[in-house]
């Protein structure tokens, strides 16, 4: 006789299977979207009703990893698109690594995606072959809303392009046939809102011109330095901005040529400026409207602190880098920011000035506005100590001051306690303010959290 317990278990499993299979196809597709693409495709062997469900998935993600073979990933991707039956391909993400064969037909893949009315295309190619041009149909795709092109891609446009639905464009370490190709690409996007650019060192463009009337957000990185704080002038080429609707700007450019602005919105709200060359006068003028500012500067660019009236500035992150006169620059910025409420400072690789004057005047922001002070990597140098003393003694509305330390290698526990004791002994104008010593400060300001500034 059959085992009764086993028979009951089989019946339960069959009922469970039938219940899942009986769900609407649209719901089954949503379940499969939670799985990696290969596992989703593998469900086709479960039973007849499941055979074609994965082909209706509107999102396909194929990534080459160190555990996969690039050739097999490419074959899998081709077969997936060949069998795909969804009326609209909402999302196609492809990443092919250095082991990808140089003879794969990249153009065919792009054509296939365009024919399926792709809306988001993220194509990252890192093969050892030369950068490849993409088919013309990509640059005339009416359904494309977001386009990300990375690495071994050649932007080559000698024809009239038109991307009527594109709202976000990312160009990451790509190269351009010439400056005309860049200009034609950007001018083909009448509703583009967000542009993110990371320059390749030799990308064939000297003047990187961003002339996009509809643009709201721009992120531009032209620095091959790896320290993440301050570049060394390895970048090449200049940036020219002509975007009158711009509200969010992030520029990381330590090239010798720097950046200039021809036309930009007088309502620029948020800016991150990490530059190594003095800006043009227009750049300084448009910065005066920002409410949130994140700035890295060296001595050559202290003009950002001294020559701009930040009348609307509320939150500010300052990162002096290789700057001998950084304390004076911070004081000048405080003088020019009467409504500043949140000040964050990070001191790393700073110089030591010959002499810092003692100030008797108090900026308006310290006497009536500043509520939060956060200082990263405070090392207790003479300049740091003098500036901190000045801010604490002048900030009447201060609610909280958080200071994380930058200790030298030979600093023992006794020395650390002594440094903290010195900080606690500093006079504070706001007797109700808290003085905190977190091991690490994670900035939670509007500037630090904004997605455009997470570089």
Task: Annotate 286-302 with DSSP letters as a single string.
Answer: HHTT-SEEEEEE-GGGT
Is residue 262 in some structural domain? Answer: no
Residue 109's pLDDT band, with cuts at 50, 70 and 90, is: confident
Residue 198's pLDDT band, with cuts at 50, 70 and 90, is: very high
Query: Regarding predicted confidence, which is higher, 285 or 334?
Result: 334
Q: How far apart are CA 431 and CA 31, in angstroms?
A: 57
What predicted TM-score, i.e. pTM, was given to this entire model?
0.82
The two structure tokens encoding residue 144 = 């494309």
Domain boundary among 30, 57, 84: 57
**Which residues are CB-neighbours of 79 under 8 A, at least 6 positions away?**
none
pLDDT of amino acid 97 = 76
Q: How far apart are CA 248 and CA 272, in angstroms?
A: 9
Domain boundary among 36, 57, 78: 57
Domain boundary among 57, 77, 109: 57
Q: How far apart are CA 246 and CA 241, in angstroms?
A: 9
The number of residues in the chain equals 455
CA atoms lying within 13 Å on the CB side of residue 451: 4
pLDDT of amino acid 229 = 47
Query: Regarding predicted confidence, which is higher, 385 or 38?
Result: 385
pLDDT of amino acid 176 = 97
Q: How far apart are CA 447 and CA 453, in angstroms?
A: 7
Produce one character per residue of 138-162: b if its CB has 16 or more CB atoms within 10 Å, e if not. Answer: bbbbebbbbbbbbbbbbbbbeeebe
The domain containing residue 368 runs over which residues? 291-454
Is residue 126 in some structural domain? Answer: no
The two structure tokens encoding residue 226 = 């790896």
Candidates 170, 179, 257; CA nearest to 222 is 257
Q: How far apart are CA 93 and CA 123, in angstroms?
A: 6
**Percent of the chain surpassing pLDDT 90:** 42
Is residue 385 in some structural domain? Answer: yes
The two structure tokens encoding residue 64 = 């080459």
Is residue 348 in some structural domain? Answer: yes
Q: How far apart are CA 241 and CA 279, in angstroms?
A: 12
Candidates 445, 403, 433, 454; CA nearest to 313 is 445
Residue 280's pLDDT band, with cuts at 50, 70 and 90, is: confident
Phi and psi, residue 33, nearest 5°: -65, -15
The runs of H, that is alpha helices, within 189-345 are 281-287, 303-306, 326-335
- For residue 317, CA distances in Å to 157, 297, 397, 444 come to 40, 11, 19, 11
pLDDT of amino acid 122 = 95
Is residue 128 in some structural domain? Answer: no
Kindly state the average pLDDT of the residues 116-134. 91
Is residue 259 in some structural domain? Answer: no
Count of structural domains within the chain: 2
What's the pLDDT tens digit per position in 129-143?
899 999 999 999 999
pLDDT of amino acid 326 = 85
Is residue 324 in some structural domain? Answer: yes
Candidates 98, 94, 119; CA nearest to 109 is 94
Q: What is the mean pLDDT of the chain?
A: 81
Is residue 384 in some structural domain? Answer: yes
CB 189 within 8 A of CB 211: no
Lowest mean pLDDT among 229-233, 330-334, 341-345: 229-233
Q: Does residue 258 come out as left (phi exceeding 0), alpha (psi in the -120 to 50 range) or beta?
A: left
Please check the confidence at residue 431 and state whether its pLDDT lies above 80.
yes
């Amino acid at each position: 006789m059959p085992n009764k317990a086993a028979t009951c278990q089989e019946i339960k499993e069959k009922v469970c299977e039938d219940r899942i299979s009986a769900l609407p196809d649209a719901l089954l597709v949503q379940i499969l979207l939670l799985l990696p693409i290969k596992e989703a495709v593998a469900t086709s062997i479960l039973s007849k009703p499941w055979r074609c469900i994965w082909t209706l998935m509107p999102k396909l993600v194929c990534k080459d990893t160190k555990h996969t073979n690039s050739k097999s990933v490419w074959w899998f991707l081709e077969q997936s698109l060949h069998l795909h039956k969804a009326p609209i391909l909402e999302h196609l993400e492809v990443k092919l690594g250095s082991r990808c064969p140089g003879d794969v037909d990249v153009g065919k893949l792009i054509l296939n995606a365009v024919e399926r009315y792709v809306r988001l295309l993220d194509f990252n190619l890192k093969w050892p072959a030369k950068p490849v041009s993409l088919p013309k149909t990509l640059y005339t795709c009416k359904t494309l809303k977001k386009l990300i092109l990375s690495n071994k891609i050649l932007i080559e446009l000698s024809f009239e392009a038109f991307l009527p639905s594109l709202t976000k464009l990312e160009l990451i370490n790509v190269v351009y046939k010439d400056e005309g190709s860049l200009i034609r690409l950007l001018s083909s996007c009448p509703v583009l809102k967000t542009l993110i650019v990371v320059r390749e060192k030799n990308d064939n463009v000297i003047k990187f011109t961003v002339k996009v009337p509809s643009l709201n957000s721009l992120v531009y990185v032209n620095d091959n330095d790896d320290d993440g704080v301050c570049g060394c002038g390895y970048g090449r080429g200049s940036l020219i901005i002509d975007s009158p609707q711009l509200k969010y700007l992030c520029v990381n450019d330590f090239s010798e040529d720097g950046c200039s602005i021809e036309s930009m919105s007088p309502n620029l709200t948020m800016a991150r400026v990490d530059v190594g060359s003095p800006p043009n006068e227009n750049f300084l003028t448009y910065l005066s409207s920002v409410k949130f500012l994140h700035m890295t500067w060296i001595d050559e660019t202290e003009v950002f602190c001294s020559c701009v009236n930040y009348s609307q500035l509320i939150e500010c992150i300052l990162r002096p880098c290789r700057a001998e006169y950084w304390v004076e620059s911070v004081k000048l910025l405080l003088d020019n920011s009467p409504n500043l409420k949140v000040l964050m400072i990070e001191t790393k690789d700073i110089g030591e000035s010959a002499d810092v004057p003692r100030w008797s005047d108090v900026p308006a922001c310290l006497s009536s506005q500043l509520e939060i002070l956060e200082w990263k990597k405070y090392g207790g140098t003479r300049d740091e100590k003098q500036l901190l003393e000045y801010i604490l003694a002048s900030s009447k509305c201060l609610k909280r001051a958080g200071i994380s330390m930058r200790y030298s290698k030979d600093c023992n526990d006794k020395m650390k306690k002594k440094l903290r004791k010195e900080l606690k002994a500093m006079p504070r104008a706001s007797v109700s303010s808290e003085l905190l010593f977190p091991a690490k400060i994670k900035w939670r300001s509007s500037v630090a959290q904004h997605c455009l500034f997470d570089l």
